[in-house]
Structure 1
Amino acid sequence: MLCSLCGTRPATTADGRCTLCAATRRSAAGGLMPTPTGPQTVRSLRSPVGLGKAVCVLLGSVAVADAVSIGAGGYARQVYDEGMADDFLRFDEALANRADTLYQASGSLQMLTFLATVVVFLVWFRRVRLNAEVFDAYAHTMRPGWAVGGWFVPLGNLWLPHRVASGIWTASSPGGSNRPPAPRGLLHAWWALLLCAEFLSRYAGQLYSDAEERDEVLHSFDVGVVADLTDIAAAVLAILFVRRLTAMQGDRAAERAAAPVPPLPAERADWGRAH
């Protein structure tokens, strides 16, 4: 019998692993995901391709909403800059109200696109996590449920989803345990920009709500533009991350199909229908 992980070397342990995989493919000490032992629950692969495409489209809509917000913020800044000069002698309240309405409407558009993207992204993220469990059950330090739950833990959501994504990335890297994981530069860059965009967005919103003086109002619009630009960059990197990880899982599924021990028929059928 061949190793249940690499599929190339003879199995030498009671749980179906070869000597090399038994020595190297263990979860981190103290992690939340125990090292699997004994017979494991058989899972079938499900293609993330369709979900990945939907996530990329929605991320594009997030970037468009950010661009609209930049335009609305620039217009509002100009209105307030001109109106509040010379001790408010040229201040047009109707024009200012219109600028505020446009700016707040752009914020509502951002929220709608964000919420829609979050829902579909979490479904995709859970699917690639479950697939990663099939590819390599020993690459993870957290259970599959954390692929969704980790995003909703106060403070913990600053690193838990990245930890889950790192395990998915390792398990989905082509070659599996036979090769080092694919470089994680894209994963780290996306996560760093995502956190920066979130903090800047919250900061800009607070500044806008508290602003009273001319300089405070203008500063809030400036920070809002920076936050939106950062969010656009994070959305672009998120698209690249989703596309890359989805492609990696496709390559990994092809490797399993070509391995001496073929995958379950359900795996081949589910992946084939997605294309």
Structure 2
Amino acid sequence: MPCALCGDIIPTEVARCPACGAWARRRDFRAVGVAVFMLLGFNAFVALGSGISLLRSAQPLRSTTHDTFDRSAAVRALAPYGEVFAICGALAGLTGLLYLAWLWRACGQAPGPHRHHRVWALLGWFVPVVNLWLPPRLVYDVWVNSGRYRTAERQLAGAVVAAWWGCLLLGGLTARLFAGAGVDSLAEARFDMHLGVAAAALLALAAAFCMVTVFQVTRLQVTRGE
């Protein structure tokens, strides 16, 4: 396996790179963490850009009256953003696959005690009902177990994880409502526009909060292993 720091080949039976002395597993874990962090940043950028673009393209709805409302024009203005959110969902799915690989490694490297078995780092995202509450608990446990935290610091970590998960769930729900909302009247068109902007803002915030958790866990575990 090549060293993520210097590129030299590390034999499988050796824990450190023979050239630079870096811990192979920790350096590889840091590379995965950096990749997840950058992909999350791209997700946040795309979601935020979509919300700003939606605000600008739907600006005429603010000055439109019930007498001048044109349903076909509203459909043309709002319909493309349903496809934009679908693309954002596909991008988030690809990011999620790499995130699961990172979380699996992070769970294995975090010292105990663990409230849940490591396998739930993967299964917890796909089991119905369980996937509504277990993933943030796992991320929180990995975060606080990776370092030495006081009570206030644990509460802050819990607040960040809760904000990430809340924004993610609300953003996904709002995006679904935006895709299924009608524009038969001016009030419905304006409401649909607000739903789209809210969904974009929530998804951007979710990606930003997730970036914080990935950065902190990766930093703590890499530092502890060096």
Counterpart of 2:43 in structure 1 is: 62
> How many aligned positions are there?
200
Residue 169 of structure 2 corresponds to residue 210 of structure 1: no
Counterpart of 2:224 in structure 1 is: 252
Q: Secondary structure at the match of 1:48?
A: helix
Counterpart of 1:130 in structure 2 is: 108
Residue 208 of structure 2 corresponds to residue 236 of structure 1: yes
Counterpart of 1:144 in structure 2 is: 118
Asked if the contact 1:205–1:224 (Cα under 8 Å) also holds between the matched residues in 2, the reply is no
- What is the TM-score with the length of structure 1 in the denominator? 0.63
Whose Rg is larger? 1
The one-letter code matched in structure 1 to 2:142 is: I
Quickly say closer, same or farther: Cα 1:224–1:92, change in 2 above 3 A. Answer: closer
By relative contact order (CA 8 Å, sep 6+), the higher-ranking structure is: 2
The one-letter code matched in structure 1 to 2:52 is: G
User: What is the RMSD computed on CA atoms of the aligned residues?
Assistant: 2.7
> For 1:1-275, what aligned pairs fall within 5 Å after superposition?
45-46=25-26, 47-81=28-62, 85-87=65-67, 89=68, 91=70, 93=72, 95-132=73-110, 136=111, 138-174=112-148, 183-184=153-154, 185-211=156-182, 212-254=184-226
TM-aligned CA deviation for residue 102 of structure 1: 2.9
Q: Secondary structure at the match of 2:163?
A: helix
Asked if the contact 1:200–1:223 (Cα under 8 Å) also holds between the matched residues in 2, the reply is no
The one-letter code matched in structure 1 to 2:70 is: F
Where does the alignment leave 5 or more consecutive residues of structure 2 unmatched?
A: 1-23
CA–CA separation in structure 1 for the residues paired with 2:152 and 2:221: 12
TM-aligned CA deviation for residue 77 of structure 1: 2.7
TM-aligned CA deviation for residue 79 of structure 1: 4.4
CA–CA separation in structure 1 for the residues paired with 2:122 and 2:177: 28
CA–CA separation in structure 2 for the residues paired with 1:59 and 1:228: 14
Counterpart of 2:13 in structure 1 is: none
The one-letter code matched in structure 2 to 1:228 is: A
